Amino acid sequence: MTNEKKTITNRDVPAIYPVKTKIQVSVIFFVVLAIYLTSMTWTQSQMAGGFTGALGNMFNVMVKFFPPNTAVIPAVWGPMVETIQMAIIATTVAAILTVPLALLAAENVTTNKPLYLITRTFLNILRTIPDLVLAVIFVGLFGIGLFPGILALIIFSLGILAKLISETIEAVDMNPMEAMRASGANVFQMIWYALIPQVLPQYVSLVLYVFEINIRASVVLGLVGAGGIGLILNQQLGFYNYPNAMMIIIIIFIVVIAIEYISTKIREALI
């Protein structure tokens, strides 16, 4: 009796995923696993001596970095501030330029389909260019210094910011916009009174987030000649002056952590 009941329940309960999906997922899983395994063994054989050899070599280099040279602190302070300024200027410009772009790339605001698609495509293309490539191109065009770095960061952060903010705009409650249109408001008033209050906290949070990314990116960009602390770090490494380089890395580490901490606290308070 109980046995019979059990079989019936078993038969009555359908699987959550259809069999076809299960097979597809399994196949994809094994293909990915296979790719991982082959690429792992391939990399191993390419590295002379494999992992163990690499680790030993790394240890030998690491020792040369210690102790860090604290005497360079006063000298690197200026470039560090330059790096931060680079990130601030780039983030600010990007935050301003983002507003029209994000509005044009939001389907619920830009009802003109071609205009929306053109903006979307433009932003997608922007985001496919890595920041380092941008920096190399601009350093080539304008020479070594802060300006090419700032330009690269602006374009890089514009791609991320406009995309994320246009998605925030697409998720807003459209009802108040309709109410304002029905009361005779024009498009600017609708955006200002119904849209901005809904996206402002997200906007500020995302700008701060992009600022954090820009601080780290501006260090890296300096390595390819785009000014700031990255440039100094690159020089010191080039001169094999490892204790100086180590001190610079520690300073960068502390500054990045401090800025991230403050920015995270502000973002938490906003949302």
Partner 1 sequence: MIQFKDVDLVYPNGTVGLKNVNLTINDGEFVVVVGLSGAGKSTLIRSINRLVTPTSGELLVDNEDILKYRGSDLRKLRTKTGMIFQNYNLVKRSSVIKNVLAGRLGHTGTLRSIFNAYKKEDVGLAYESLKRVNIAEKIYNRADELSGGQQQRVSIARVLTQQPKYILADEPVASLDPPTSHQVMTYLRKINKEDNLTTIVNLHFIDMAMEYADRIIGMRAGEVVFDGPVSEVTEKTFEEIYGRSIREDDLRGGADQS
- Name the site residues for partner 1 (rule: CB under 8 A): 173, 175-176, 178-186, 188-189, 192-194, 197-198
Lookup: tokens for 179: 């109410």
Nearer to partner 1, 9 or 183 (CB): 183
Whose Cβ is closer to partner 1: residue 176's or residue 243's?
176
Shortest distance (Å) from residue 123 CB to partner 1: 26
**What's the CA gap between 163 and 121, in Å, rounded?**
11
Nearest approach, Cβ of 177 to partner 1 (angstroms)?
Answer: 9
Specify whether the CB–CB gap between 227 and 153 falls below 8 A. Answer: no
CB of 173 to partner 1, least distance (A): 7
| For partner 1, the closer CB: 17 or 192 | 192
Closest approach of partner 1 to the CB of residue 174, in Å: 9
Give the nearest distance from C-beta 197 to partner 1 in angstroms: 5
User: Computed from CA positions of residues 108, 109, 114, 117, in that sequence, does the dihedral angle turn out positive or negative?
Assistant: negative
Nearer to partner 1, 180 or 251 (CB): 180
Shortest Å distance, C-beta 112 to partner 1? 16
Alpha carbons 3 and 233: distance in angstroms, whole number = 74
Closest CA to 229 of 157, 143, 149, 151: 149
Between 57 and 189, name the residue whose CB sits nearer to partner 1: 189
Instruction: Give the residue with the Cβ less far from partner 1, 58 or 96.
Output: 96
The minimum distance between CB 188 and partner 1, in angstroms, equals: 5
Of 3 and 183, CB closest to partner 1: 183
